[in-house]
Amino acid sequence: MRFPLALTAKIARHIVKHKVKRTPKFAMVLQLEPLHTCNLTCTGCGRIREYSTSLKDMMPLEDCLASAAECDAPMVSICGGEPLIYPKIEELVDGILKQGRIVYICTNGMFMRKKMKDYLASIYTSALEPKLQTLLDQKLISDKDAETIRKGKSDGRPVIRPSKWQYWNVHIDGLEYTHDLIVEREGVFKECVEAIKMAKLLGYQVATNTTVYKETDVKEIEEMFEFFSSLEVDGHTISPGYDYDAAKKDMMKRLNKQPEDFFLTRKATREKFAKIEDWGKRFTIFGTPVYQEFLAGKRELTCTAWAIPTRNVRGWIAPCYLMTDGHYPTYQEMLAKVDWNKYGVVNGVARDSRCENCMVHCGYDPSGALGTNYQRGDNWKNFRYNFGAKPKPYVEGRNVKAFNGVSIGKGHLAEAKAAINTASCSTAPTAEREDLLKKIAATKKDS
Ligand code: SF4
Ligand code: SF4
């Protein structure tokens, strides 16, 4: 099976329950942002810029858990900012799991090994020694780490332990050179790979999470899937980047650029995702085959942004994670007060100009599962994809030259900083990233 049976059954039960009750709108995945603080400053990150005034603000644990209970989504994606900085992340994960929900921890990977070492300390007995030796042999922990683990952990706090109900969802936007440049720090890709290796050795479930931009090299993304498949990751989330309307207007007004010069239009998205269905056969791509057909340009879907709501320190964001027209105190109030007919693209026509080029998963992936724009055979297609055989790890992926940046002595942080300083679009997060990716492509051609 592509996905664990218990998880698939849980989600299917949730959909059937609401279909039987004829609930008009309900949550499938909660995107929970307990904080917007991050240890990285990735080029073009919308979160740390949009919420730059509230980086110190955090949602109390009780509010986080109450939000999950209120919207009752079967899956909760804990994001941010960097969720592993949240001081009560262990209690949060534990609390959501105890509510019977599936948890995705969306992380940049930098603190994953620390959290897994805490887990090892919490379960340490001498029986763990062979495992510690393997981790030492593979240089995934140091001698000092092993000593700390052997001392055990007795602070009474929960730990993030392996669970079939939980995934590490690691942000990776390319191979080493590209990824480190985008996150503006050398060594991040390598740390992510080591964290993923350690997680797999300890029995955690791991997914990768990638955003595709206009300048993203599709061949590199395919190699990235091959590489991570060889590490036996459990799945991949991939979604096209989104361009904020303010950014678009700014580019046109200040720089006299046409949006299609910079932004991933629907046409460009379809070109980038032309092979998504092939990828879905070769790798465990998360997302319904119906959404994959939509990305590949084979059909239209109607936005169901209410199905993947976002809750942060200011409230429930309407209409979606990408576009903030307001914050509401409860999910139900947001559902009731927002005029959802104002948003999305219907039969190729944008109801709101800001939605024009949007094909992101938080608007359209649930549409594929919920049967909006249903076509005969869709349910069978989704069923077959979920229950079909899981693609085997792509062993040849070990030969991919994933470490093509700092690890081969090709440090490039100065170059990254120069690129960002010369990017004249500081109010345009996605455009900044496009600009940087263009520079990466030019550099690769030169070298
Ligand atoms: S790791 Fe995530 S939250 Fe942090 S800066 Fe990068 S994209 Fe933004
Ligand atoms: S199409 Fe939907 S998800 Fe995309 S920006 Fe518009 S409301 Fe948000």
For residue 435, give the nearest of 426, 423, 444, 427 by alpha carbon: 423
Q: Which residues pair with 311 in a beta bridge?
A: 32, 316
Q: How far is the CA of 399 from the centre of ligand 1 (A)?
A: 29
C-alpha distances in Å from residue 33, one per residue of 79, 188, 266, 314 = 5, 22, 28, 10
Pocket of ligand 1 (CB under 6 A): 38, 40-42, 45, 47-48, 80-82, 108, 171, 183
Q: So what's the pLDDT on residue 275? A: 92
Would you say the CB of residue 358 lies under 6 angstroms from ligand 2? yes
Is 305 near ligand 2, meaning CB less than 6 Å away? yes
Q: How far does CA 305 lie from the centroid of its chain?
A: 16
Q: How far is the CA of 192 from the centre of ligand 1 (A)?
A: 14
Ligand 2 centre and the CA of 343: distance in Å?
Answer: 6
Structure tokens at 435: 């600009």
> Which residues are CB-contacts of 8 (< 8 A; sequence separation ≥ 6)?
1, 386, 387
Ligand 1 atom at minimal distance to the Cα of residue 36? 3
For residue 307 and ligand 2, the question of a CB distance below 6 A is answered with no
- How far is the C-alpha of 82 from the C-alpha of 326, rounded, in Å? 23
Which residues is 250 bridged to in the sheet? none
Decide whether any atom of ligand 2 lies within 6 Å of the 303 Cβ.
yes
Q: Measured between alpha carbons, how far is 326 from 262 in angstroms, rounded to an integer?
A: 27
Specify the pLDDT at position 260. Answer: 63
pLDDT at residue 407 in the model: 74
- From residue 344, alpha-carbon distances to 352, 356, 415 in Å are 7, 8, 38
Nearest CA to ligand 2 atom 1: 344
- Cα–Cα dist 265/23, whole Å: 33
> Which residue's alpha carbon is nearest to atom 6 within ligand 2?
355
The ligand minimizing its distance to the Cα of 111 is 1
Residue nearest ligand 2's atom 5 by CA: 355
By alpha-carbon position, which residue is closest to atom 7 of ligand 1?
Answer: 45
Protein residue whose Cα sits closest to atom 3 of ligand 2? 363
User: How far, in Å, CA of 445 to CA of 447, rounded?
Assistant: 6
Rounded Cα distance between 175 and 406, Å, is 11
Write down the H helix ranges in 123-167: 129-137, 143-150
Pairing relationship of beta strands 29-32 and 75-78 according to DSSP bridges:
parallel
46 to 40, 226, 246, 275: CA distances (angstroms): 13, 28, 12, 27
CA atoms within 13 A on the CB side of 335: 15
Helices (H) and strands (E) in the chain, counts: 20, 11
The response to whether residue 317 sits with its C-beta less than 6 Å from ligand 2 reads no
Each of the 447 residues of the chain gets a pLDDT tens digit; together they read 888 888 888 998 999 999 999 999 999 999 999 998 899 887 767 677 667 666 578 999 999 999 999 999 999 999 988 999 999 999 999 999 999 999 999 999 999 999 999 999 999 999 999 999 999 999 999 999 999 999 999 899 999 999 999 999 999 999 998 899 888 889 999 999 999 999 999 999 999 999 888 778 899 999 999 999 999 999 999 988 876 555 555 556 655 666 566 567 888 899 999 999 999 999 999 988 999 999 999 998 989 999 999 999 999 999 998 888 999 999 999 999 999 999 988 877 889 988 988 998 888 888 877 877 778 888 888 888 888 888 999 999 999 999 987 776 666 665 555 554 544 333 345 666 777 777 776 766 555
What ligand 1 atom has the least distance to the C-alpha of 38?
4
Tell me the pTM.
0.90
